[in-house]
Amino acid sequence: MPRTIVLMPTYDERDALPVTADRLLHAAPDVTLLVIDDGSPDGTGEVAEAMAAIDDRVRVLHRSSKQGLGAAYLAGMRLALDEGFDRIVEMDADGSHPADALPAMLEAADRADLVIGSRWVPGGGIVDWPLHRQLISRAGTLYAQIALGIDVADMTAGYRVYTADLLRRILADEVTSQGYCFQIDMTRRAADLDAVIVEVPITFRERELGRSKMSTGIIGEALMRTTAWGIGRRWGQLRSAAAQLRRTPTLR
């Protein structure tokens, strides 16, 4: 059986984390849960330690300060690969990602390199999310889809399963995205490596506990980087098409 680790980044999630972890470990009892806490002022790190003390499946990675979601995930991913896990899952700590969808996502990973828990495929959706968040997410993923020319409906999704093999290949290059564009960046890199990407429908729920860390700075970073990546991708496609034309012998 593949060894699976769930990476769960936390920043000020003292109340939400235990509930989310409980649901996860019930839905998927064989996984290891790694909480990656950026020195949360509210004591989430200590809450995670208390969970780890009574459950062998729970581990904690403490980082000194808030360095963004991307950096937290990258630290967790390196640890997961170093320790030989076969499946690496990304999941938010706020309960937005349905734990009961994980078995189906893990099963899908038998036939894919990257499985995305997707809100924007038939059968997927969102519940209780304010309209402005829905619009940001919808517009963001649509813009990324068009700018990058990648056929993934939920490019910014944070509920994912990576196979170790794909993750190792992606991380062979340096990834520097900090905020939510980390997800777009990883999708783009997977597509560039011709990974098989499968979307499994999920219902995403607005958090009931704690508050969102989304900010306009994070949205700005995503917009700027996605635009630059889109231009880079199109330019690369143009150049290889031109090279192809030059190689084609002309008929006389």
Ligand X SMILES: Nc1nc2c(ncn2[C@@H]2O[C@H](COP(=O)(O)OP(=O)(O)O)[C@@H](O)[C@H]2O)c(=O)[nH]1
- Which spans of this chain sit near ligand X (rule: CB under 6 A)? 9-11, 13, 36-38, 66-69, 72, 92-94, 96, 207, 212-214
Measured from the CB atom, the residue of 72 and 112 that comes closer to ligand X is 72
Cα end-to-end span (Å), the chain: 60
Closest CA to 22 of 54, 46, 45: 54
Determine the 3-state secondary structure of 90 from DSSP.
strand
State the Cα–Cα distance between residues 137 and 58, nearest whole angstrom: 31
Work out whether 163 is an interface residue with Mg ion (CB under 5 A).
Answer: no
Q: Rounded to the nearest whole angstrom, what is the least distance from the CB of residue 206 to Mg ion in the complex?
A: 8
Work out whether 96 is an interface residue with Mg ion (CB under 5 A).
Answer: yes
Q: Rounded to the nearest whole angstrom, what is the least distance from the CB of residue 1 to ligand X in the complex?
A: 27
Neighbouring C-beta atoms of residue 123, cutoff 10 Å? 10
Q: Rounded to the nearest whole angstrom, what is the least distance from the CB of residue 70 to ligand X in the complex?
A: 9
The binder of 62, among Mg ion, ligand X, none, by C-beta within 5 to 8 A per type, is none
Work out whether 90 is an interface residue with Mg ion (CB under 5 A).
Answer: no
State the Cα–Cα distance between residues 187 and 193, nearest whole angstrom: 10
CA 5 to chain centre: 14
Place of tokens 């990058």: 148
Measured from the CB atom, the residue of 94 and 185 that comes closer to ligand X is 94
Work out whether 94 is an interface residue with Mg ion (CB under 5 A).
Answer: yes
Q: Which residue ranges make up the site for Mg ion (CB under 5 A)?
A: 94, 96
